[in-house]
Each structure stands twice: as C-alpha cells, then as structure tokens.
Chains A and B, each alone.
Chain A
Amino acid sequence: MENLIEIRDLSKTFRVRQGGLFDRHTVLTPAVRDVDIDIRRGEILGCVGGSGSGKSTLGRMILRLIEADDGTITYAGRDLRALPPEDLRQHRRRAQIVFQDPLQSLNPRRTVDENVARPLLNFGIRPAAAARRVDELLEMVGLDPRQSHRYPHEFSGGQCQRIAIARALALEPEFLFLDEPVSALDVSIQAQILNLLKRLQVELGLTYLFVSHDLKIVRQFCDRTMVMYRGKLLETGSSEAVYRDPLHPFTQDFLGTVLHARRDEAWQRAAERAEDLEGAPPDMAGDHCPYAATCTRRVARCTTAEPLLRPAAPGRAVACFLHESPADVPSPQPRTLTPTGATA
C-alpha cells in the first residue's frame, strides 16, 4: 500500500510564557520530538499514549492547525509545511478532524444544518446545493435530516458526534484525524460511533489517524498502532503484534495497566510507572531515553544516549536499546519475538 502521509523528524515545542512583570521567562515544553511515521492510504492508524504525550499535537500538525517547528510532513507527495495559502485551503478539503467533545466542536448558536453546511459554503457551493448535501450527509451518519433545524444542545452526545462526523465528511476528505472521538461518550454509544466510523471508512475509502487513550478500542479498531510517550514515538507495528507482544518496556507497562486486570503488586508498580507521565521529569541531563527514569529494565546506555526508532521485526519498529541488536541486549529475555502476522 502506498503511503498517504510520510512524517520525518517532526518536532514541535510549545513556548509558554511564565512569571510576572519582572521575572518573565519562557518555558519550553516539547510536545512532539523527532517523530517518524508513515500513514498508509486506507488504513486506520491508532495512536496511544498517556495525556501529554503529543498525540493530539501530532494530528493537528498534519492538519496544519498547529505549525510544526521542524521536520517534514509529506501528504500525497507534497510537502505540507510549504503549502501556499490557496493550496492549504485545498488541503482542508482532503484532511479533516473529529474532536473529542462533540458538543463543544459544534457552534452552539448555529443550527445543525448551519454547522454542517459551513465547510460547503466555504468552498463556494451554493446554499441550495449545500442544503441538499447536508441532508445527504446526515442520513449517511444515521440522523434524521428533518431535525437539522435544531441546535446542537438538543441532541445527545452520540448524536452530536454523528453531526461532527457529517461535517467532517462534507468536503469528501480522504483523511480523518479522529482526536479521541469516543472518549466523551457512554460505552454503549462508543460502539455505535465506532461502527459508524468503520462503515464510513470502508464505504468511502478513508484513512484514519485514531488517537485514543483507550487501549481496548485501539486494539479492536486500528490496523496499526503507534505508542507515544513524552512526545517520542516509542513503538509501531500492527495492532495485533503490538498488543500480543509489546517490545518497549513502556508499552508493556502501559498495556499491562489497562489490559491485564491483575491486581497484584507488580501490576500496581507498572501502573504507577506508566501513569507517571507528567510527574517529575527524569532528573537527567543530556540525551537519554524518555522512559529511562521509570523503566525497570534500564541499562547504562539508557541514561546517556537516546535510542532511535529501529526496525525490530517485519512491520515493527521500536525505540529501545534492548531491541537494537542482539549484542546490545544485556540479559536474555523470557519472551520470544513473534514476527508472524506483523505486517499490516
């Protein structure tokens, strides 16, 4: 499968001004650091990681809602970061976003049809044609077009998310960035929305970048999974392989906390390690693995150099010295690598 999006060395650092009148200083918060990832046409790429791991920032950079600092994003062969304004406008037709909070992502003072018609009107479609298209879109996401004169707050969360999906699809995009689209919904509604997204993906041939902190959903829903931690991409691979056999110690801890409901002491410690995302940053200067401070399998190199993302098995890559080459592995691992079925 060809790559729709190729991301190389993508970085973004937020500058936050702090302090009062006399003691002003700028705090640099790296959100995404040197991420390399390809998104293939027609796949669902899941992106997991705790809060603050840069998942949303990554997606917003693909949509150019946030400007990257460094690196390249190639979208269908074109350098996204160098698009002139008119081309950026056209890019908006091809890549769209669905937000976490469905109610907030719709303008509360505009009716549903006004909300959904806005992208159409932006691209010069006449109001009458836009109105017909709005009805079509609402039917496509399973809503009654006769209700479209109502305001978003009159709909439930799941219905609002359907409206938001209809709006995102209005311009017939090929790529959707789904920013935790079901996190704010009830479990029963989650399944409905996921089924809808899956059906639309197949029918319309869409490509998804699906961000979530709900690992179970990513496992079921996504073809491939990428794992992020503190802005670094730690591991990629087919969802099946990553979940069955996580390579990076962080992934192991992270998956262990959520997927294995063991209530023993080891589980507790792993949970604490994986949850400690915004806790004290590792007290290390210079290059080091982002997970080195809490990793239980840390080796000497982890605190002095930063591991790069290296292929570990067919279709998989991991940024960890333990998997860099057999010679670097300090102790034999109890687990075995299972490369079968690792290609997406």
Chain B
Amino acid sequence: MTDRSAAPARRAPRRSNLYFVWRGVLGDPVARIAAGIIAIMVLAAAFAPWIAPWPPNAANPELRLMPPGTPGHLLGLDNQGRDILSRLIYGARLTLVCGIVPVLIGAAISIPLGLLGAWYPLLGGVIMRLMDVLFAFPMALLAIMLAALMGPGVANMMIALVVTLIPYNTRVVYAAACLERDQAYVEAARAMATPDLKILFIEMLPNVVAASVVYSCTIIGAVVITAAGLSFLGLGVQPPTAEWGIMTSEGRSYIFNAPHIAAIPGISITILVMAFNLLGDSLRDSLDPRTRLRLVRTAKDRT
C-alpha cells in the first residue's frame, strides 16, 4: 500500500504540506477541474500577447455588435467592434490581480489581527470593535467611499478593497482562534514555556489558517465583482483597459440587441468565482492532516 511496508527499517519520507495539497487537489475530480480552470486563466493572462488573436483595443467598427461565431472573431465583437475573446484574455490579467491580491494582503493582515485578538482579550476587544465599525458599512459602499477619498486608480482601488476585506477575514480567524485557544494543546504549550508569539504563530496558526483559506477563496468572487463595480463607477480600472467587470458593465446598454457583450465576461466571472470556491473546499481538506491521508489514498486507488 505504501512504500513504508517495503522498507520497514527506514524512516518513511517526511511529506510536506505542499505535497498533500498537490495530491489532494489532484485526487478530487471537482478540485482538479477547478484548479485546471484557474490554471488556464492564469496562463492566458500571463501569455496574453501571444495567445490573443487581436490587440485588446483594436476596433473594427464595421463588425460592431456581431455575435459569437463571426469569422475571425470567435466570441464576437463589442459595441466598438473590439474582439471580445482578445479583451477577455487581456482582461484576465487585471481581473485576477484585482481579485487575488487584495484577498492575499487582506489575509496577511487579518490573520495576525485575529490571532492576537483572541490571545489578548483587551486588545481583542479593541480590534473587534474597530472591525464592527467597518462592518457597519456595506462592503461595496465602504469600498466606494475609500476609493473616492483616495482618488481613482488601480492601486487605490486595491487598498480600498483590502480595508473592506479585513473585517470579514479577521472575524473568521478570530472565531477559529478563540476555539483553538481553549484546546488542551495550547495549555500544554504554555506548560512547556512556549513564548506567546510562538504559541500563536507556530502552534495555533496552522489550525486556524484553514478557515481563512476557505473563506479567502470564497471571497475572491465578491472582490472581483466589487472591483468591477468600482471600475464601473470610474474609481478603479479606467476604460478602455480590458477588465471583465468593466466589460460586463459596458455591455449592459446592449443587453437586448447584443447580449453576448455583457454575458461572456459575466459568465467568465461566474466560472472564476466558482472555480475558487471549489478549490477552497478542496484546500481545506488537503490542509487538514485528519482528512488528507484519505484523499491521497483514494487518489492512489484510482490510478
């Protein structure tokens, strides 16, 4: 079954977390599809100039509003006669960056906040009340307010998104950390004189990070949509830059006579969001030592 039985005298190799994430994702067909979709989107974004048949802003006004299947334009053309497939490929760049980077930065800030808040009750009270203040605003409204204060631009929009995301992720981490805090292994860590910060970031962090990973994957969808909303209001990505959210909102005026202009980037966003959600589920399983062995075993049985 395993290589351990073949050579019982030798220590079985240490498996890293990455190995289990890799095996876990490959072992789960749904996660495999999700990871494949994300990989294709990332590759398309990275190699856009080589893949895209047309430059993203090259307009051919004679063919404007033509539906998918037009010769030379697989997914049709938009209201200015720009090739939608090319814009989709180029747009994947900003869409992925605007969706993923704020979530990563937000998680990097929220995880320490949540852990420290759970460990030091007074600090935790202050942090969580601050988060409550941010919670009082709807996510989109807060992002609009911050982006408007800082002025338009992609960087400012991402800062606004990070600030918007922090309360959600902090609360997820805080709740998970409060549960872990009362576990016996944390008390054991105190009994063996582990310094507070080591308890938090060596002992507790691996146990709370799963909740944050799953949540982060779920929230990427909302962030993509919020980023699109900000761009639509002129606070984020500026036209004519290709970005899926802008493409969707630009296409809305033609929803009745050329629905594909809005539908294609909209469906792309939906697929992206779903892929991240499904991947998040699988990541949670592969990050947990209690469930991931089963994942690897079923993967082995299948092959």
A residues bordering B, Cβ < 8 Å?
A: 63, 65, 88-89, 92-93, 96-97, 99-101, 104-111, 115, 118-119, 122-123, 146, 149, 151, 153-154, 164, 167, 170-171
Known contacts A99-B184, A99-B187, A146-B11; decide if A109 and B289 are in contact (CB<8 Å). yes
Shortest C-beta distance, B82 to chain A (Å), equals: 49
Please determine whether A153 and B290 come into contact, CB atoms closer than 8 angstroms. Answer: yes
What are 13 inter-chain pairs, A to B, with CB distance below 8 A?
A: A92-B192, A92-B193, A96-B192, A100-B184, A109-B206, A110-B203, A115-B185, A119-B194, A146-B8, A149-B12, A151-B290, A153-B289, A167-B188
Name the A residues within 8 Å of B187 (CB-CB).
65, 97, 99, 105
Please determine whether A96 and B12 come into contact, CB atoms closer than 8 angstroms. Answer: no
DSSP majority for the A interface?
loop
Name the A residues within 8 Å of B184 (CB-CB).
99-101, 104-105
Besides A118-B203, A164-B188, A171-B192, 6 other CB < 8 A contacts?
A88-B193, A92-B191, A108-B185, A108-B289, A118-B192, A146-B11
CA distance A149 to B190 in the complex (A): 23
Name the A residues within 8 Å of B12 (CB-CB).
146, 149
- A-facing residues in B41-88 (Cβ within 8 Å): none
Chain B residue nearest to A164 (CB atoms) is B188
Shortest C-beta distance, A72 to chain B (Å), equals: 21
CA distance A123 to B193 in the complex (A): 8
CA distance A167 to B185 in the complex (A): 11
Q: Is B207 an interface residue, CB under 8 A from the partner?
A: yes
Please determine whether B194 and A118 come into contact, CB atoms closer than 8 angstroms. Answer: yes
Which listed residue (A99, A101, A122, A151) contacts B192, Cβ 8 A? A122
Chain A residue nearest to B198 (CB atoms) is A122
Which listed residue (B11, B191, B206, B290) contacts A97, Cβ 8 A? B191
Shortest C-beta distance, B212 to chain A (Å), equals: 14
Shortest C-beta distance, B204 to chain A (Å), equals: 9
Name the A residues within 8 Å of B11 (CB-CB).
146, 149
Name the A residues within 8 Å of B207 (CB-CB).
107-109
CA distance A235 to B19 in the complex (A): 57
